[in-house]
């Protein structure tokens, strides 16, 4: 589904479309952004702020949702990966360690230190 600029359903302003159900279109593109955890976390933060604005001011935020990719890293097994992180190509062990650190950072953003300790990836030495 393609949401509005405030990530709401185009026909029902009280329903938000976020995560992998939302095909968010870039302002200058004809294909939606990839449905990754990175964009989903950004959507969640935006919707929280938009809901707060609507409850406080009765209006959406003045700025629409925007997204800028920090890159994508794909793992191939436990010790190899490839991708792009912050504009730099990464491969092999360094990419694998980067992927694990990205996963840990996402866990921290969602559930804090405790979540990282429960589910985090610490096998960076492979």
- Return the pLDDT at 125: 67
Mean pLDDT of 13-18: 95
58 φψ region: left (φ > 0), alpha (ψ -120 to 50), beta (else): left
Tell me what pLDDT residue 126 has.
Answer: 55
CA 48 to CA 33: how far, in whole Å?
20
> Using one digit for the tens of pLDDT, what is the confidence trace for 28-68?
878 999 888 889 989 999 999 999 999 999 999 999 999 99
Q: For position 40, what pLDDT does the model report? A: 93
% residues pLDDT > 70 (the chain): 98
Q: How far apart are the first and last CA of the chain?
A: 40
Q: What is the pLDDT of residue 70?
A: 86
Counting every residue written for the chain, the total comes to: 126
pLDDT band with cut points at 50, 70 and 90 for residue 121: confident
Predicted confidence (pLDDT) at residue 94 exceeds the cutoff of 90: no
Quote the pTM value. 0.75
């Amino acid at each position: 589904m393609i949401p509005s600029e405030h990530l709401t359903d185009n026909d029902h302003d009280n329903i938000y479309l976020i995560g992998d159900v939302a095909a968010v279109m870039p302002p200058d593109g004809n294909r939606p952004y990839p449905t990754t955890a990175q964009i989903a976390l950004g959507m969640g933060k935006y919707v929280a702020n938009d809901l707060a604005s609507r409850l406080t001011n009765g209006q959406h935020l003045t700025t629409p949702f925007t997204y800028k990719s920090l890159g994508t890293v794909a793992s191939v097994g436990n010790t190899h990966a490839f991708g792009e992180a912050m504009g730099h190509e990464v491969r092999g062990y360094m990419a694998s360690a980067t992927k694990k650190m990205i996963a840990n950072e996402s866990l921290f953003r969602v559930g804090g230190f405790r979540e990282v300790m429960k589910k985090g990836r610490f096998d960076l030495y492979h």
